[in-house]
Amino acid sequence: MNHIEMTRIVQRQLAVDLNCTVDDLNGEKDSFVFVEAGQNSGRRPIPHNDRQFDMLSMGNAIIVSAVPEILAFVKPQLIGASRDDAFSMPFVHGQSLYYLPDLSQISQLPPPDGFTYELIEKSDIPPLYQFDGFHNALQYDVNHPRPDVLAALAKHGNQIVGMAGASADCANLWQVGMDVLP
């Protein structure tokens, strides 16, 4: 898979999640696209509520997906705002950055002296739930709607000191979370 294919997969999923179109995500100039949030089939299993508000920047577009009452409140404040100003608005909370890897730049590195790496697949992940402190890497719930599917451990001796875990956010996307002990 190359970067273009990954981008297309992500755009198709985001269009379903945000109730917009892939063309909206491919905006050629800095622009806001305002859409009403929807419960579309194939949407990632992230709960929506009666105060739903999502704002996403991808490429040049800024997609604002929200329930009608929220759209009526935020739209006048966002029209004409810069990207930085939009994401600095007082009603914006919990920003997250997501990246797609450049597969041509990835290579396996040897662990530092005294450390080892271990890869754990889905069926062998639940025993890792006994180790606290890796809540970005693991869901700690075998019945979670976004199940753990892969974990990479960094060990110093026999102690797990770091972990990267992938959860299946939907059929086509996995999300990676990481934790490192102090």
With respect to residue 82, please indicate whether it lies within any of the assigned structural domains: yes
Q: Into how many domains does the chain fold?
A: 2
Burial pattern 12-27, b for ≥16 Cβ within 10 A else e, equals: ebbbbbbbbeeebbeb
CA 38 to chain centre: 19
Whether residue 79 is found in the same domain as residue 114: no
Q: Of the candidates 154, 123, 150, which has an alpha carbon nearest to the alpha carbon of residue 138? A: 150
In a domain, 14, yes or no: yes
Mean pLDDT, residues 33-60: 87
Q: Which of 52, 87, 122 is the last residue of a domain?
A: 87
Q: What is the pLDDT of residues 51-100, one digit of tens each?
A: 899 999 988 889 999 999 999 999 999 999 998 999 999 999 888 888 88
**Average per-residue pLDDT in the chain?**
92
Structural domain containing residue 148? 108-180
Long-range CB contacts (< 8 A, 24+ apart) of 10-15? 10/100, 10/173, 11/58, 12/172, 13/42, 13/44, 13/170, 13/172, 13/173, 14/56, 14/58, 14/63
Q: How confident is the model at residue 29 (pLDDT cuts 50, 70, 90)?
A: low
Phi then psi dihedrals of residue 29, to 5 deg: -130, 160
What is the Cα–Cα distance from 2 to 122, expressed in whole angstroms?
25
